[in-house]
Copies of this chain bind each other. A is one copy, B any other.
């Protein structure tokens, strides 16, 4: 099946009848937005061997590529409406990858009731590479940003932190865990759960929001810089999964282990700030959407991130988190 056949016979169905996708037959896609809405656009590029493991199943790669973009929409409090995908397939073995990739993407698009409206297909002599663009909407002026945190706000996080980092270590053979924990952390790394419902609920209350992709400490640093404030985080309060608790038992230096958990990326939880009076409503919203919500610190005057250890002492955090170059 050549490129045009692939688009017609495999990708076109993923447009799910969305009129502006024009059956993926045209030069571009069409999208309307309501008079009181803004569109929210985000784009992530994923390279085999850099953003996912060469041996990760292609259907899970597709789902992760979509989900990390939806996570960015969640962090802006946006409701997703459409997706674009551009993929450079390796010349060798591309056909099998394509079938599995489409299967994974179709599954997640169908689950989220989202159309694929455009993109590009090509080949590469290098590693398999894809760019996914997610487009969402918010009421005008309602988008969450990184820049609104104010001294006195609480710093909160959804879900549990550090799971995906352990998943990556496990899949690389650097650590081992019990059976149940193995599956859990591998799935947390490979198929993150974008916190879309929580993002919508936070529109009314959060002063700043970001998704945890570079690592909790680094992403907290982005909020601190954009807001012109300091963030003090109690790493002992980091919400831990059973798998993280199991891993921590084997670590001699608990504070160092907590810093490692807070420096690992890929959790795709929401880190946000909100006034203390808004905590209860956010906690209820989290309960309703089936996700844990934990206060892990507070916003202060000043700048940067201060990380406190188990006994309240300030920890040295050297790295600014993951950076590609």
Most chain B CB atoms below 10 A, which of A3, A37, A42? A42
Q: How many copies does the complex hold?
A: 2
Which one of A71-79, A177-185, A237-245, A287-295 contacts B? Answer: A71-79
Contact indicator B47/A124 (Cβ below 8 Å): yes
**A37 — nearest CB in chain B belongs to which residue?**
B32
Which residues of chain B are within 8 angstroms of A22 by Cβ–Cβ distance? 145, 147
Contact indicator B45/A86 (Cβ below 8 Å): yes
Contact indicator A38/B47 (Cβ below 8 Å): no
Given contacts A28-B136, A30-B41, A121-B324, list 12 more A-B pairs with CB under 8 A: A3-B325, A26-B147, A27-B72, A29-B41, A31-B38, A32-B39, A33-B39, A43-B118, A47-B123, A91-B325, A126-B129, A133-B133
In the complex, A78 Cα to B124 Cα: how many Å? 30
Which residues of chain B are within 8 angstroms of A119 by Cβ–Cβ distance? 43
In the complex, A320 Cα to B8 Cα: how many Å? 15
Contact indicator B125/A49 (Cβ below 8 Å): yes
Q: Hey, what's the 0/1 contact readout for A1-27 against B, CB within 8 Å counting as 1?
A: 011101000000000000010100111
Contact indicator B26/A38 (Cβ below 8 Å): no
Contact indicator B27/A211 (Cβ below 8 Å): yes
**A22 — nearest CB in chain B belongs to which residue?**
B145
User: In the complex, how many angstroms separate the beta carbon of A196 from the nearest chain B beta carbon?
Assistant: 13
In the complex, A165 Cα to B115 Cα: how many Å? 35
In the complex, A64 Cα to B132 Cα: how many Å? 21
Interface assignment of A99: CB less than 8 Å from any CB of chain B: no
Contact indicator A118/B42 (Cβ below 8 Å): yes
Contact indicator A50/B124 (Cβ below 8 Å): yes
Given contacts A4-B323, A323-B3, contact A31 B27 (CB under 8 A): no
Interface assignment of A127: CB less than 8 Å from any CB of chain B: yes
Given contacts A26-B146, A86-B43, contact A324 B31 (CB under 8 A): no
Which residue of the partner chain, among B26, B88, B94, contacts A145 with CB atoms under 8 Å? B26
